[in-house]
Amino acid sequence: MCKQVSAVWEVSLSDRVHKIEFEHGTTTGKRVVYINGEELLRRDWMFKLVGREAFSFGIPPNKAVILIEAVGGFSYEYSLHVNGLTLQKFTQNRTRTSQTWALRLDQTDYRIVLEKDTMDVWCNGQKMEAEGEFVEDGTETRFYIEEHEICLKAFSEPGKRKGITYCLLLDGQKIHI
């Protein structure tokens, strides 16, 4: 059977970018939530066509709610809220609290995420064993991908008031991404 998706969102978390699809049957009230192409939740024959669907996704689990609102006739509007915030506010918050790098290394793509508040490091969906240390001009957090040393460096630039700058070093060389 063919999916008839009503809304699609992409949500960037530490473990990966999640694609959330929502199917809404406006005559049957059917509601289906897909996460990364896999069915997570299904409700058939709902008599109330508007409302909300709550679910969790990602590692660690994040709470999400899809709001279904009528906008006239048989037209509906769908919005996604994550951890109590609109998707836009959640995304803005994630931008402030995490730093993400995309790296191609030895013919393999890597997505590296630094959680600024906890200094946790994620690589391709797995939390990495990383060692952090204070250095003269900031902090350095080190871990390995295969035999390559990755260093995430956090420092304040002298004379600038733009806060903390983050960079990625691969085997001691700064990577410009």
Kindly report, residue by residue over 141-172, the tens digit of the pLDDT: 999 999 999 999 999 877 767 788 999 999 99
Residues 66 and 103 grouped into a single domain: no
What confidence tens digit (pLDDT) does each residue in 44-103 have? Answer: 987 788 899 999 999 989 999 999 999 987 799 999 999 999 999 999 999 999 999 999
Residue 18 has pLDDT above 90, yes or no: yes
Give the phi and the psi of residue 34 in degrees, each rounded to 5: -115, 135
- Total-model pTM: 0.87
Residue 1 has pLDDT above 70, yes or no: no
Residue 28 carries which DSSP code? T
Residue 162 carries which DSSP code? S
9: domain CATH number is 2.40.128.180
Cβ contacts of residue 106 below 8 Å, gap of 6+?
146, 148
Residues 102 and 68 grouped into a single domain: no
Distance of CA 4 to the CA centre of its chain: 24
Residues 59 and 11 grouped into a single domain: yes
Q: Last residue of a domain, which of 57, 83, 109?
A: 83
Q: Which residues constitute the domain of residue 121?
A: 96-175
Q: How confident is the model over 13-31, as a mean pLDDT?
A: 93
Q: Is residue 22 part of a domain?
A: yes
CA dihedral 52, 50, 10, 87 (to 10 degrees): -60
CB 139, CB 151: distance < 8 Å: no
Residues 116 and 72 grouped into a single domain: no
Q: Is residue 91 part of a domain?
A: no
Alpha-carbon distance of 134 to 136, in angstroms, equals: 7
